[in-house]
Amino acid sequence: MTNTPRISIIGLGWLGLPLAQALQQKGYVVKGSTSTSEKEASLQRSGYDAVVMTLNPDPKGNLPYLLEADVLVVNVPPKAGKMGDAFHPEQMRHLADAVAASSVKWVVYVSSTSVYPELNREVTETDVQTPDESAAPALVQAEQIWQSLQTDSVKVTILRCGGLMGYERQAGKYVAGRTVNSGAVPVNYVHRDDAVGLLVAVLEQGLTGVYNVVAPQHPTRAEVYAASCRNHGYALPQLVEPESPLPFKIVSAGKLIAQTGYSFSHPDPRLF
Q: Is residue 103 part of a domain?
A: yes
| Residue 202 belongs to some domain of the structure | yes
Task: Quote the domain boundaries for residue 154.
Answer: 6-163+191-214+249-266
CATH number of the domain residue 60 falls in: 3.40.50.720
**Rounded Cα distance, 115 and 138, in Å:** 9
Side chain identity at residue 253, one-letter code:
A
How many domains is the chain built from?
Answer: 1
- The answer to whether position 25 is within a domain reads yes
Task: Fill in the DSSP letter of residue 85.
Answer: T
Question: How far, in Å, CA of 224 to CA of 188, rounded?
Answer: 11
Domain assignment present for 146: yes
Report pLDDT digits (tens) over 214-226. 999 999 999 999 9
Asked whether residue 221 is domain-assigned, the answer is no
In a domain, 241, yes or no: no
pLDDT tens-digit profile of 60-119? Answer: 999 999 999 999 999 998 876 778 899 999 999 999 999 999 999 999 999 999 999 999
Position 80 scores a pLDDT of 67
Residue whose C-alpha is closest to residue 193's, from 111, 271, 114, 252 = 271
Rounded Cα distance between 246 and 239, Å, is 14
Q: Is residue 224 part of a domain?
A: no
185-203 pLDDT, tens digit each? 999 999 999 999 999 999 9
Give Cβ neighbours of residue 129 (< 8 Å, ≥ 6 apart). 140
Closest to 192 in 3D by CA, of 98, 137, 272, 268: 272
Residue at 229 is within a domain: no
